[in-house]
Amino acid sequence: MQKLLLGGLALFLPFLGQAQCAMCRAVLESEDNTAVAEGINNGIVYLMAIPYILIGALFFFIYRKMKS
């Protein structure tokens, strides 16, 4: 139950997952536009989160089906 709660908390706090690949970081550090950097970070977080949400929903439906 604790792992499920921590996993759900991690999904709903995307600012914890702010990350960049090495090439993106190098390009964005050379520019002074922070709005572009925040946009890149948000895009990375969304791309990372969607598969976890889909897999979590799949396991939830399987769990609910097995329980009934």
30-40 pLDDT, tens digit per residue, is 767 777 777 87
* pLDDT reported for residue 35: 78
* pLDDT reported for residue 15: 55
* pLDDT reported for residue 31: 67
What parts of the chain have a pLDDT lower than 50? none
- Domain residues for 31? 2-67
* pLDDT reported for residue 44: 82
* pLDDT reported for residue 60: 95
Q: Which residues neighbour 53 within 8 Å (Cβ) at sequence distance 6 or greater? A: 11
* pLDDT reported for residue 64: 94
How many structural domains does the chain have? Answer: 1
* H-type alpha helices, the chain: 2-11, 22-30, 34-67
| Cα dihedral value 6, 35, 27, 30, nearest 10 | -120
